[in-house]
Amino acid sequence: MRDPDLSVKIGKIKLKNPVIVASGTFGFGEEFKDFFDLHQLGALITKGISLEPMIGNLPPRIFETEGGLLNSIGLQNPGFECFVNEKLPYLRKIGTHAIVNFFGNTPTEYTELARRLSEVRGISGLEMNISCPNVKQGGILFGCDPGMTYQVVRSVRRSTQLTLIVKLSPNVTDIARMAKSAEEGGADAVSLINTFRAMAINIHSRKPELGNFIGGLSGPAIKPIALRMVWEVSRVVHIPVIGIGGITKAEDAIEFILAGATAVQVGTANLVNPNTAVEVIAGIKKYLLQTKACRVRKLIGLFKV
Ligand SMILES: Cc1cc2nc3c(=O)[nH]c(=O)nc-3n(C[C@H](O)[C@H](O)[C@H](O)COP(=O)(O)O)c2cc1C
CB 7 within 8 A of CB 17: yes
Active site residue 132: yes
**What number is the average pLDDT over the span 90-113?**
96
User: Is the pLDDT score of 134 beyond 80?
Assistant: no
CB 8 within 8 A of CB 273: no
In this structure, which residue's CA is closest to atom 6 in ligand 1? Answer: 24
Give the model's confidence band at 33: pLDDT under 50 very low, under 70 low, under 90 confident, else very high: very high
Give the model's confidence band at 132: pLDDT under 50 very low, under 70 low, under 90 confident, else very high: low
User: Is the pLDDT score of 290 beyond 60?
Assistant: yes
User: Is the pLDDT score of 140 beyond 90?
Assistant: no
Strand partners of residue 166? 128, 190
CB 134 near ligand 1, within 6 Å: no
Question: Ligand 1: which atom is nearest the Cα of residue 167?
Answer: 11
pLDDT tens profile 174-223: 999 999 999 999 999 999 999 999 999 999 999 999 999 999 999 999 99
Q: Report CA(116)–ligand 1 centroid distance (Å).
A: 23
**What number is the average pLDDT over the span 271-296?**
98
**Global confidence as pTM:** 0.97
**What number is the average pLDDT over the span 39-59?**
96
Question: Ligand 1: which atom is nearest the Cα of residue 77?
Answer: 8
